[in-house]
Structure 1
Amino acid sequence: MKKGINVLLLLFLVVCACSSGSSSVDPVSEENNNNLGVLATISTNEAESILSTEAVIWGKIENNGGTSVTERGICYSKQIDPEYEDSKSKANLVMGSGDFKSSLKNLDGETVYYARAYAVNKKGIAYGNQVSFKTTDIASPLLVFGRVKVAGAQDIFLDVELKEHGDLTIQEIGVVYGTSREPTVANSKIKRTSIESKFKQRITGLTPETIYYVRPYAITSQKTLYGQEFAISTIRKGNFTYSFNQNGADAATVTRIKAAFDLATTYYNNFTSIVKHVTVNYSPGTPTADANFAGWINMGSNVGYQKAGTAMHEMAHSVGVGTHTKYWELMTGGTWDGTRANEILQMMTNDPTAVVKGDNTHFWPYGVNGAHEDDGSDFLYMMNALILQGMKTDGMPSN
């Protein structure tokens, strides 16, 4: 009995061993492999809506390969047979029929690209047929200077207009300048704090009587572009000097009058090329101040008039305003007939209709015709000097 049991046990073990070793396929692995399906079948349409930096391409899933497509789009390159690892644009619109659209962005202008639709399923990445297209030429930003430019001995003023933004994103805008042709952003540049369609630019710290080359520039997402260059010369630095007869004035009065004429002559010498020497006299009997073309200036005891604006006003009289026949010839009918002084006023104030007005004695605006007009601002003093320089260009003599 015991022997029979042992034989049966041995036979059972042999059968189990044979059953385990005779199976060559893992049912679970075979099932997983079948679930992977095959690669999807996909087609690529020709590119459309082609611009300088973008294009649209449609693709179509013809067959998903038996599993869900988890990603679809267009891969593209400047080389043939672009792949998933190259640049790609995922579909931004999917239609129920399997059609999908991808928008390609930030392309280079006037460049040939190759593109293939792709689809990703469990089996892997499938590619469609290859198409090619060429982007159009890039429309560059168009930057131009205004017609009128104004120069002092150390400063240049100009208008810049961004007439066309072009196809590229503008990241920075401004002007470059130098004493050699075709200055670049690697030379001297003035960057604007924002992207403006129109702006006025002042370039300062320049050398008198020197030709400068100036170009507007725009830094875009792809490259730096420059507008048309122009050359402009700074003017000869003025040499307006004065001597001062104190005539018993107290120390505070002397300090005020000297400070007024020191500042006034600085503006004349930076923004005009006038060469003249005048004699300034403290004259307590003079109600405010007066001057003549011979270069004699009286400053009264009224403290409100012992300022730079009054000094510049009287200096203008000493170089011809209201004191020379040429001034009266050009200031006819209450308006200045010369071209340059009016151009300067229009350009600097952004008012194309502005004209210098006046009478037989004074001009305005910016004539500082009274203490109430003297706000002490840089722009007021600068404009007074620039208009005087314009009047000199129009023919009014200084001496």
Structure 2
Amino acid sequence: MFFRKLIKQKNMKKSIDLFLLLLFVICSCSSGSSSEIVETEEPDNLGELATLKTNEAEEIAAKQAVVWGVLQDNGGTSVFERGVCYGTTANPVYEGTKKIASVTKGSGEFKAELANLEGGTLYYARAYVVNKKGVAYGNQISFKTKDAASPLLVLGTIKVAGAHDLFFDVELKEQGDLIIQEIGLVYNTVKEPTVANNKIARSTVESKFKQRISSLTPETLYYVRPYAATPSKVLYGEEFVISTIKKGNFTYSFNQNGADAATVTRIKAAFDLATTYYNNFTSIVKHVTVNYSPGTPTADANFSGWINMGANSSYQKAGTAMHEMAHAVGVGQHSKYTELMKTTWQGKRANEILQMMTNNPAAVVKGDGMHFWPYGVNGAHEDDGSDFLYMMNALILQGMKTDGLPSN
């Protein structure tokens, strides 16, 4: 009996110990942060949507406008963005086109500068404000941009014509409000040429440029006008009517006088090229006789059409041929040349051609009793073989002819 009682007491003690151990574990687990086992809802403190006003648009132009908004109530929470939504349909929204305010005042006013608009277009706009609650809009306004100013393109006063070529100065005097994607010239033998006819487009949009039109028909009337292509349309400048000149007919015969084959080849090549320039850029009609003259130091010529080419191979080139051809048509050989060359050329057209082609409005043709310059090729050292040199020599001769220098 004693042992039964003792065992019972021991079992009760074990039960108590187990209970105390379990209670200790529970207390230990509950002694940590209550957030690990208990979630509480955060109170709703986001506030309300802001209230604001949209003022009427200001500083309206073809491509831009200014819109002010006024924050009247921030809704009880911080504002972190403000601006203006805009577009060509009513009630523009934040997800569409918008402009963040560039100026914000303490009074609540803020300004958005709208850019890259289309001219002559109706726009809708609403000021907006973003706070923690979301996007709030002001009242809607509308405004119409001004009509876009067109670019102003003009041709230069001086134009130059050859038999197959025309030369123009083109100036973009006013850019206007439109984006210019392409600029150039159009031309045709009928009025009002367009880009669908013959056009010459520049590789870049330039405010000033010189344009050459080639492969034309001699003695033909051409209508020419500058153009500018924009994203929406093609705009044209004032039309100018100009005729190509009569093609020259400058010919030569050649007396070889025992010249070797290489000399003959050089002299003939020189005069073939020289006469090509005269016939393309002047209307001079003349025949000359070219003689190989080994006793002539360089070369010489007279108005009667007699040209001597010496044995010096450095002078057996196109530049020398053109120089002597100029003598044969009157330069330094006719009284009219003496009358017009008084240190500077007194005629108008030759000087105009020089000014236009060299982009120098102060340029004048200068000379003495026998020669003119620049582009007179007054020596082998001036002959660089360039197209521009030969072309300018011929064009100035054509200008002198226009001014009264006879070729026969």
**Counterparts of 1:1-399 in structure 2 under 5 Å?**
34=44, 37-121=47-131, 123-220=133-230, 223-331=233-341, 333-399=342-408
Q: Which runs of 5+ in 2 are unaligned?
A: 1-38
Q: Give the secondary structure class of the aligned counterpart of 2:110.
A: strand
Q: How far 1:357 moved relative to its partner?
A: 2.3
Q: Percent identity among equivalent residues?
A: 76
In structure 2, what is the Cα distance between the partners aligned to 1:67 and 1:371?
Answer: 87
Q: Based on CA coordinates, which of the two structures has the bigger radius of gyration? A: 2
Q: 1:320 to 1:99 in 2, by over 3 A?
A: same
Q: Give the secondary structure class of the aligned counterpart of 1:254.
A: helix
Q: How far 1:132 moved relative to its partner?
A: 2.3
Q: 1:176 to 1:386 in 2, by over 3 A?
A: same
In structure 2, what is the Cα distance between the partners aligned to 1:36 and 1:154?
Answer: 80
**CA-based RMSD:** 2.5
Q: How far 1:245 moved relative to its partner?
A: 1.4
Q: Which runs of 5+ in 1 are unaligned?
A: 1-27
Q: 1:211 to 1:29 in 2, by over 3 A?
A: farther
Q: How far 1:30 moved relative to its partner?
A: 9.0
In structure 2, what is the Cα distance between the partners aligned to 1:186 and 1:72?
Answer: 49
Q: Deviation above 6 Å: which 4+ runs of structure 1?
A: 28-32
In structure 1, what is the Cα distance between the partners aligned to 2:40 and 2:188?
Answer: 75
1:211-238 deviation digits (Å, cap 9, x = unpaired) = 2222223344664433222122211221
In structure 2, what is the Cα distance between the partners aligned to 1:224 and 1:95?
Answer: 44
Equivalent position of 1:21 in the other structure: none
Relative to the length of structure 1, the TM-score reads 0.84
Q: 1:376 to 1:81 in 2, by over 3 A?
A: same
Equivalent position of 1:20 in the other structure: none
In structure 2, what is the Cα distance between the partners aligned to 1:223 and 1:390?
Answer: 39
In structure 2, what is the Cα distance between the partners aligned to 1:64 and 1:205?
Answer: 72
Equivalent position of 1:11 in the other structure: none
Q: How far 1:391 moved relative to its partner?
A: 1.2
In structure 2, what is the Cα distance between the partners aligned to 1:287 and 1:260?
Answer: 17
- Which deviates the most, 172-181 or 56-65? 172-181
**In the alignment, is the contact (CA less than 8 A) between 1:168 and 1:222 conserved in 2?**
no
Relative to the length of structure 2, the TM-score reads 0.82
In structure 2, what is the Cα distance between the partners aligned to 1:360 and 1:287?
Answer: 20
